[in-house]
Structure 1
């Protein structure tokens, strides 16, 4: 089945189920015969994956918010050049676990009044917005407990605690209103199958 190229992103606080739901949507669309690229940020290209290790591991105070903005923008630029733009140019559907909205919230809102800096760099170096963004919303305490239960090594942002998770949740909900033409808020505090079914219906409508 051939469809118009679409760029779909998943956003939300840590532990909200973005990665699982992004994977499930990719599987659903592939089963329909669509050509899908599933990727993530930070990462998604060899250079960006190297930067991912720098920003997601280590002490919570390892980097300032200003330095993080530069690192995430560098990773995103490489990801665009090597993965996202070529796939979209080939007519493929790109599903990405996080994109620029995460930087707008994490570094631009919750770690300082740096949103204008994030937006200026985005205009200069990225210049692309998703066609459709799913914001998975859940109570910050629930998300943080899930995130910490993964027992992984990429826990730097979880280590900032529940108060930061609450600020991030508010930031994502504000973005949903700011970019209401592309953002869809999904109740993520329920069964994964119900979430996946709602997302699949919305994505199919957008791709029709």
Structure 2
């Protein structure tokens, strides 16, 4: 990332808004990203807004994370919650088919709200509760079709284990800012997610992008070690 790009990102506030049906884990996802345990108790009333920072830019980019209650879709307050959103993340529970089917209604409602706006938000799809993959009720082909029809970034992860939460947020934020997501952030997120999964005795699903980065890092480490050994022998 160049100094010029850093200056452009400096001070820019990025707003992420999470929407979807009740009990899909939106609050838990926000809690996980903000450094919590990924478990939220009780239902959201209206919308909850949190402040954070994304360390992928220098200086860190200020964030506003808006967790919209599932019941807010049928209220007049939804346009206010979505106002100035740079990113809208549609969350569904992959063990609950109805939570996915309702996304069609959410999509139409939100597109209508932004129809007259000159700047449209970046939209993405997040399938939560991947730690319960054995209870999956939403077919992968349906998810792929929906994301393709609406041109959505498609993520699958778990607020409970932390899988893909940080990576998804960072990838979307970096796209809004027009910068490349630092490799260090991705590698750190992978390491952190693995530690959390081990503590919970849960085997996370591999993130192919992160695995590739970690493999390259490990390869360089092995090469340096091999080079050092040769020098010692000589």
Q: Given the two structures, how large is their TM-score scaled by the length of structure 1?
A: 0.43
Q: Given the two structures, how large is their TM-score scaled by the length of structure 2?
A: 0.40
Which protein has the bigger strand share? 2
Q: Comparing both chains, which one has the higher relative contact order based on Cα–Cα distances under 8 Å and sequence gaps of 6 or more?
A: 1
